[in-house]
Each structure stands twice: as C-alpha cells, then as structure tokens.
A and B are shown apart, each in its own frame.
Chain A
Amino acid sequence: MTRPKFPILHVWMDELSELVKDEGILIFVILLPLAYPLLYAMIYNTETQRELPMCVVDESMSQRSREFVRRVDATQEVRIAAHATDMSQAQELMRRRDVSAILRIPAEFDSDIWNGRQTVVGLYSDLTSMLYYKVAYLGVINVAQETNRNIKVRERMTPASTAREDDVARWPIRFEEVKLYNPQGGFAAFLIPPVLMLILQQALCLGVGMSMGRARERFRGLVIPPTRHYKNTLAIVLGKGLVHFLIFMLMALYMSVCVTRWFSLPQLAHFATLVGFFVPYLLACTYMAIFWSSFIYRREDCILLFVFMSIPLLFLSGVSWPGASIPPLWKAVGAAFPSTWGANAYVRISGMGATLGDVHSELLALWVLAGVYFLLSCLTYMHEIRKSVGRSVLS
C-alpha cells in the first residue's frame, strides 16, 4: 500500500463528512453558534430598565411636593404607578410586586425648605435586581439635584440681577459625564461581546467533544480509526483542528459582523483586525477543545463536562465582575482559558476601536495558549496512535 499524498487532507475530509452526517454534532457546531447570539441579543436588546413603577407616599401634600413628584414621574427612569396614603399601604404594594420602589416625602418637606433647613426624602428600593436600585436612585437624585439648584438660586441667594448670574450660581463649575464606548450605558453593549466569545468557546468544546466521544464509542476506546491514514500525529491534529477552526471562523465573523450590525451593537474594528484576533483565539479554543475531549469516553459526557464552563468563565474573564477585584488564584485559573483573554481583547477591539497593537499582551497569551494546547493535543494523539498500533497487532 502506498502512503496517501496528503494525510492532512484525508483527515480533514473524514472529519468534515462525519460532522455533517451527525445531527448531534451539528446542533452544537451550527445551530448553537447561529441561534444563541440572536437570542441573547434579543433578551438584552432593551438595554436598560425604563419607567420603573414607583409608589409615592406624599405626607406633605404641598404644591412643592406635588411638583417634585411630577418631575420624578417625567424622568425616563421612573413612572409613578401608585399613590399611597401611608407607608404600610405602600409596602403592601411592594410585597405584591405592583411597584418596585417607594418614594416617601415627609410632612415637613415644604416647611423645612421654607425655613431654610434640609429635608430628607426617603427612597426605598426593591433589590430583586440591582438595576432597580440604580434606576430608581438615578431618577430621584437627578430631580433632587435640579430642584436644589433652583431653590438655591430663586429663594436663597440675594436676588440676582441677570440670567447669567443665576446660571453661574446654579453651576459654579459645570461637569460633563461621558460614557465612552457604550453611550446608552446599556446592558447589551456591555454583555453581548464577552458572551459571543464564550459561545464560540463553548460550542467548539461541545462539538469537538461530541465527535471525539463518538469516535471512542465506534473504535472501541480509540479516538482514531485504525486505518493507515491515521498514523501521522501532525496530520491528524492539524486536519481535525482545521475543520473546526474553519467552521468557527465563519461563525465568529457572522457574530461579529452580522449579529452586531443587526442589533446595532458597537463595532469599531476593521475587518482585518477582527480576523487577526480570531485566528489565535479560535486556534487556542480548538486545541483546548481537542485536548480536553481526549478525556471523554462517551459522546454525551461532553455535555456534562462542558456546559457549566461558560458561566463561571464569564465571571473569571473580568468583564462582568471587575478584573481588578478578582483574587490572584482565580486570575490564574482564568488565565488557562482562551475566553478570559479573548473576551478582554474582543471587548476592546469591537467596542473601543483598539488595534491589534493595543491588545498585544492578550494576543500573545492566546498564541501561547494555542501553542501549549496544540502540543498537548499532539502528545495525546501520539499516545493514541501507539495504542491503536498495539491494538491492530493484537487483533
């Protein structure tokens, strides 16, 4: 028998044809990366909580308090959904989840202000979601600060003669807040980019794991068929890796170009930059998946092992939980996964317009991971080939 000219090509063709025939693998390799980004983008599409239902307990019942409540109602953050006569009634509404926050205006509200004293408005917020608290607080504090400035100018200061002087008294120093790279301050633009990277890694692990598990079931515990094409370690590792790498390159571009555009998420990266980032990221993910999958002996086992990864890894990436507050041990654990580096690099490339040079340390880490996992995969397959040779001699 003659040696095949391009063993890589054989392995590549085999893997690809196995893959398209197996609907179990197709679910993870095609359906998951196509559908999940859409689903997540749709869930977070509304970006933030608007018009949070709030109950008012107005014990002051003065013109000033009514004006204050009207202004709170007019904010986009909060909507006055109910008026209660006392706190116990308002708390009952909160318990029934009709409202998520209570604004209590004290009886002395008006008289305090007339007498030049400070008055305290109470804001009680349900913590079902942290966002409720943030939104309710923002809505009320903005109105309170605006009202404070008006009181200061109109009632407390000596009558100012010009509009300009009023304005200066209101704002001795102006300040501006700039939300960089996520102008709406929304959830989608913050969460979707790292989630996309995790979906890629997760789908790769599941897809590769399932095909390895199936190979082991079919070839009685071996990950490679006992044929002559499967004797060259490098050819097997490259050929198998290439199939998944190419499919997921398409998926990665679909996510970062199509999904991002359809849902108007920030995308400041050039196409070449994206590709330059995805090459090391997907290589690292592919070979990590190949290496880990060698521990899988049944095709279903990969679901058990890999499904849980994505949620802890989202936290370890330092995008959702600030990286600066992650203890060193968990930083080290996170560093072993491509998603940690990938999420950080992708967030900066897509959201902040960073170039490949700006994220060079992450890219370097990804190349190192890709190299390490590639070597580990080669070692695994060398071992497997030796096993398969022994097996064929025995049989």
Chain B
Amino acid sequence: MLRALTNIWHITRRELRGFGKRPILLVIMVVAPLGFLWMFTSLMQAGLPTKLPAALVDEDNTHVTRQLTRILATMEETDFVLRTPSFTEARQAMQRGEVYAIFRIPKGTTEAALTQRQPVISFYTNDTYYVAASLLMKDMRKLSEMAGLAITRATMRARGATDDQIMGTLQPIVVEAHPLGNPHLNYSVVLSNLIVPGLLMLVIMLTTSYALGMEWKRGRQLKLYTMAGRKTLVAVVGKLLPQTVLYTIIFWLIDLVFYSYLQFPCHCGVSRMMLWGFMAVLASQGFGLLLYEAFPGQMRMAMSACSLLGVMQFSLAGFSFPVSAMDEPFQWLSNIFPLHHYFLIYVNQALNGYDVSYIWSSVVALVAFFVAPLVFMFRLKDAFLNKEYEP
C-alpha cells in the first residue's frame, strides 16, 4: 500500500514537470475555463436582454396612436430605434437585421375604433432571432391587449363605474406567474451556470485522454507502467491526480464567483455545490478515461470521440431546449452525458433547494461515470503492455 502511494507520488511529480514543458496544456486547462467564466458572466451581465431594437410604423398618426406609442416606449424590452410611416422601410430594416420586430398601426385605426368597426393592428417579430422575438412579442402583446381595454375603460368611466369595477370587468382573471427559483428570469443564471461548468467538463474529458495518450505517443507507456510497479490503477491515478486537483480548484472558483460574488440563486449553499462540482470533475475524468479505454493507445480516436460527444452534450443536457421535448431516442441518449446529470442536480439543489433524494438517480449516474472505467482497467493494462501509438 505504502509502495503504491509512493509510486503515485513519483508519477504525479513526473506529470507536474511535464506540464511545464507543454504550455498548450496549461493554457487549455487554466486559461480557457477562466476565460469562459469571464466571457459568459460579462456577456450576460444584464441578465435579461433589455431595450431590444424595434420599428414603429404609425400610418395613422393621431393623438390616440401617439398615446399608444408613448406607452410602448416605456416598456422595458422595447426600444423604438426606427419610427417611420412606411412599412416597407421597416421591413427592409428588419431584413438588414437592424430591428427584431415591427409594430404597425394602419391608417384609419382611430376612426375605426371610435366608430366600433374593429380596426386591426399588427406586430411582426423576426423569429429567426428566437430570444429577442420572444421578449418583444410579450411586450407587444401586452400593449395590443391594453389598447383594446383602454377603449372599453373610457366607455365605462363615462358611465360612472369605479376603478375596481372596471378592472373586474376588463380583466376578471389575472394570471400571476411565479417562475420558481429564478424570479427575475435571469438568463445569465440559467446559461452561465451550465455553459461554463459544461465547457470545463469538456476540457476535462479531452485533457484526460490527451494526458494518457501522450505516454503512448512518446513511447513512454512502459516506463510509466514500471514506475507504477506494474499496477494499472496506480499509473492512472498518479497520472490524473494533478488534473483532479487543478480542475477541482477551478470548479470551486467558478462556484464562488457564481454564488458568492455574483449572488446567483443557490438554495443549497455554496459548499454543497462545491461537492457536486468535485463529483462532476471526477465523472468527467471517468468519461474521458472510459473513452480512452474504448480506444486503448489510440489517443486521436479517443479524443475525436470525446470532442464529438462532448460538444453534443450541450444540446442534450436540456437547458436550452428541454429533453422532454425531444424524440424518445434522444431522451434516452441524454443520460450518457455527465453534464445532463450535473444539470439536473444543479436545478434540484441550487435553483429549487429540494432534497437530494429526489435526484438520487443522477447522483448515482455521476458516481457510475467515475466507477465504470475501473471495470475496464484490463483494457488499459493490455494497452500498456501490447499497444503502440497509432497516428
């Protein structure tokens, strides 16, 4: 036992010396994850995008429509950068990508409304820009609804109804929405929280196969194996331990920035999230190791598989497009990615503050990613003894 620990220590020291000789590895391991952290938190510091550019086409131009547009101008998400009487001009602006939406009040709207002829006002959103269009749609919809109600309200006021009565008539049922865990619908909370750890997990998977594969590439795998006292597990642990420590520190740094500095919602406490972060590091290392065992000694194949699968996990984790909306095979497939399970644990723990027992299956999955490579250790042993590097 003591022998094994000494061997691990020796291999670890050898590995640390290796880091110094390969600046690219350090850049990818440290600079890239921290760079992504900086990038995503500053990119979305506003939380929800506000003041999105839209165009207003007021063909009617009466005091009523002007009042309407004044209300619209106060809305949070909308910024009318273009006011024009010509719809064509607005449409061209949209095609040039200068505005995401057009609000159009056609000629004769006021007159038709006052004479009860039901005018039609329209709004156009450019749904190829999904987030922007959804946000603008909400504002415009509210306004259109209000425009109609304003006319009824004027009639009722004239008949002497009280404000309560008016509201009870105009809007008998009010829907009060409570988005749980993220009451301000802060996009940064949802996206940064998963993309930054997700990118780190992708880095971990890749560098795991990279570090191992490098031994074969330089033809030093047998030397490593002898250093480990001919024990595969000792070789692997010694080799990956420095990365485990480094990545755990980076993951914790990310947690501290998110939950302590930026005050993202975290119902379970930072220390609990750090525990999940540590488990995610181990699970990702396990995933990388597993793929290396699938292609033993073939670093390039293992890394290609890592990158092809690793990029896909961002789509299949389900934080932009929910897994439940995907076709059945993809719902199943999403389970083979550590990021999906980390995501479910994050939602359960930090966002909602539920008990961990509700998410036990994902905790087990993270552990399984870490344990599974131990089962296939014999393949690595075979690779140590019999496999050469294949370009």
Contacts and interface: CB of A to CB of B under 8 A. Distances in A.
A132 B125 CA distance: 21
Interface stretch (A163-171, A284-292, A379-387): A163-171
B375 interface: no
Contacts of B117: 168
Contacts of B173: 68, 113, 118-119, 121, 144, 147-148, 151
A52 B303 CA distance: 38
B184 to A, nearest CB: 11
A307 B310 contact: yes
A264 to B, nearest CB: 15
A126 interface: yes
B185 to A, nearest CB: 7
Contacts of B187: 130, 321
B169 A116 contact: yes
25 contacts: A43-B326, A46-B327, A68-B173, A96-B358, A116-B168, A119-B172, A124-B178, A130-B187, A137-B175, A144-B174, A156-B168, A168-B117, A175-B120, A175-B121, A177-B141, A189-B127, A190-B129, A303-B210, A304-B28, A304-B303, A311-B314, A315-B195, A324-B100, A351-B128, A354-B96
Contact of B174 (A119, A174, A266, A301): A119
A27 interface: yes
A122 B178 CA distance: 7
Contact of A171 (B95, B118, B122, B123): B118
Contacts of A36: 308
B351 interface: yes
Contacts of B178: 122-125
A330 interface: yes
| Leading 7 A-B pairs by shortest Cβ distance | A182-B127, A175-B144, A129-B322, A190-B130, A325-B49, A49-B325, A322-B132
B168 A173 contact: no
Nearest to A210: B300
A43 to B, nearest CB: 5
B74 interface: no
Interface string A287-316: 000000000001111011101101110011
Interface string A29-49: 000100010011011111011
Contacts of A115: 168
Interface of B: 24-25, 28, 32, 36, 39-40, 42-46, 49-53, 92, 94-97, 100, 109, 113, 116-134, 137, 140-141, 144-145, 147-148, 151-152, 164-165, 167-182, 185, 187, 190, 195, 198-199, 202-203, 206-207, 210, 213, 217, 299-301, 303-304, 306-308, 310-312, 314-316, 318-322, 324-327, 330, 344, 347-348, 351-352, 354-355, 358, 391
Which of B120, B130, B152 has the most A CB atoms < 10 Å from its CB?
B130
A303 B206 contact: yes
A121 to B, nearest CB: 5
Per DSSP, chain B at the interface is helix
A39 B185 CA distance: 30
Given A190-B129, A325-B46, A50 B325 contact: yes
A322 B52 contact: yes
Contact of A134 (B126, B129, B134, B301): B134
A96 B361 CA distance: 12
Contacts of A347: 128-129
A133 interface: yes
B192 to A, nearest CB: 10
Given A46-B326, A298-B217, 8 more contacts: A39-B312, A46-B325, A113-B172, A123-B177, A130-B190, A172-B148, A174-B118, A303-B210
Interface in A144-170: 144-145, 147-148, 151-152, 156-157, 165, 167-169
Given A43-B330, A175-B147, A152 B152 contact: yes
Contacts of A49: 322, 324-325
A305 B304 contact: no
Nearest to B130: A190
Contacts of B121: 173-176
A325 B52 contact: yes
Contacts of B124: 178-180
A216 interface: no
Given A173-B121, A330-B43, A125 B177 contact: yes
A185 interface: yes
Contacts of B137: 177
A306 B280 CA distance: 23
Given A119-B173, A177-B122, A127 B179 contact: yes
B204 to A, nearest CB: 12
B258 to A, nearest CB: 16
A129 B94 contact: no
A189 B126 CA distance: 12
A231 interface: no
Contact of B318 (A95, A128, A151): A128
Given A113-B173, A119-B174, A307-B206, A173 B128 contact: no
Given A39-B312, A95-B358, A128-B318, A176 B116 contact: no
A326 interface: yes
